[in-house]
Amino acid sequence: MAGTFYGIGVGPGDPELLTMKAVKALQKVDIIIAPRTEKKDGSVALDIARPYLKETVRIVYQVFPMVKEFEKDTVAWEENKKEILGFLNEGKNVAFLTLGDAMFYSTYIYVFRRLRQENVTIETIPGIPAFIAMGSHLGWPLVEGNDVLSVIPATAGVEKVRQVMEVSDNVVLMKVYKNFPEIAGLLEEKGMLDASVMVSRCGLPDEERIDDIAARKAQPVNYLSTILARRRAQ
C-alpha cells in the first residue's frame, strides 16, 4: 500500500505549539523532506519537530528553486516530485514540514500543487502562524469588534503596502527583512510607529522583541521577523 504525504505546519518556534494531530502524524512518518534553502527555514522547522520524530526517521534534503523562478525552473521541482513519489510507492509515509502554517506563504504549497496532480493521499495539518503566536505571547490583541486586520508581505512593494495600510485598522507585516527601513518609514508616515512591535525568531531560543522599530532602521533584520502595528494605541 502506498504511503501518505503529510504537509505539517510546526508553528513558529516553540515545540509545544505543535497540534496533537501534527505530533501524531510525525510519529507515523518514515521520511522527512527538508528543503536545502539559503534561508534555512526548512531546517528551523525540522529542529522544532525533532522531539517528536521516530528514531529511525530519514531526512532527505531537496533543493527547491526560488519560488519566483517557479515557472522557469520546473526541472528541479519535477525531480523532487519523482523522488517523493518513489518513497510513497515503497509504502513510506513522507512529510514536508513548514514553519507556522503549511498553507500560508509556504514552499509546501508548491510541492502540494504538484503532488495533487498525482494519485497520492495527502494530509495537510495546520500550524500556528508566527503573528498569531505573537498576539498571545506579547499580550497584544490582534483584532476586536469591527477592526480590519491586513496581513502584508513587505516584499509586495512600497506603494501596495502603503495603500493597504491606509484602509486597515491593524496590520501584520511579514518578510520585513528585505526593505525594513522603507517599512519603518511607512509606519511613521501612517502614524502607526508608536503602536508597533517587531519580534524576530518568535518562540525560538534566541527570540528578540523590538519595541523601538525606528531605532533599528539601520541594522539588518533577521529573516524570521514579523511586525504587528495598529492605528489606535490600546
Ligand X SMILES: C[S@@+](CC[C@H](N)C(=O)[O-])C[C@H]1O[C@@H](n2cnc3c(N)ncnc32)[C@H](O)[C@@H]1O
Q: Which of 3, 7, 12, 35 binds ligand X (CB under 6 A)?
A: 12
- Is 201 among the residues that bind ligand X (CB under 6 A)? yes
With CB under 6 A as the rule, give the number of residues binding ligand X.
22
- Is 216 among the residues that bind ligand X (CB under 6 A)? no
> 95 or 202, CB closer to ligand X?
202
Q: Which of 22, 183, 184, 224 binds ligand X (CB under 6 A)?
A: 224
> 2 or 135, CB closer to ligand X?
135
- Beta carbon of residue 199, minimum distance to ligand X (angstroms, whole number): 5
> 49 or 85, CB closer to ligand X?
49
Q: Which of 101, 124, 183, 187 binds ligand X (CB under 6 A)?
A: 101
Closest-approach residue to ligand X (CB) = 100
Those residues with Cβ within 8 angstroms of residue 55's Cβ, 6 or more apart along the chain or in another chain: none
Please give the Cα distance from 153 to 176 (Å, whole number): 7
Q: Which of 5, 52, 64, 104 binds ligand X (CB under 6 A)?
A: 104
Reported for 184-193, long-range contacts at CB under 8 A and 24+ positions apart, including other chains, are 184/213, 184/214, 184/216, 184/217, 185/217, 186/158, 186/161, 186/162, 187/213, 187/227, 187/229, 188/214, 189/162, 190/162, 190/165, 190/166, 190/231, 191/231, 192/165, 192/229, 192/230, 192/231, 193/229
Q: Which of 7, 13, 35, 42 binds ligand X (CB under 6 A)?
A: 13
Task: Convert residues 28-47 into a mask of x (bound to ligand X by CB under 6 A) and - (unbound).
Answer: --------------------
What residue spans of the chain are helical by DSSP H?
Answer: 20-26, 41-49, 74-89, 108-116, 130-138, 158-167, 180-189
> 62 or 98, CB closer to ligand X?
98
Contact 25, 95 (CB under 8 A): yes
To which H or E segment does residue 35 belong?
strand 31-35
Binding site for ligand X (CB under 6 A): 12-13, 98-101, 104-106, 129-130, 174-175, 199, 201-204, 223-226
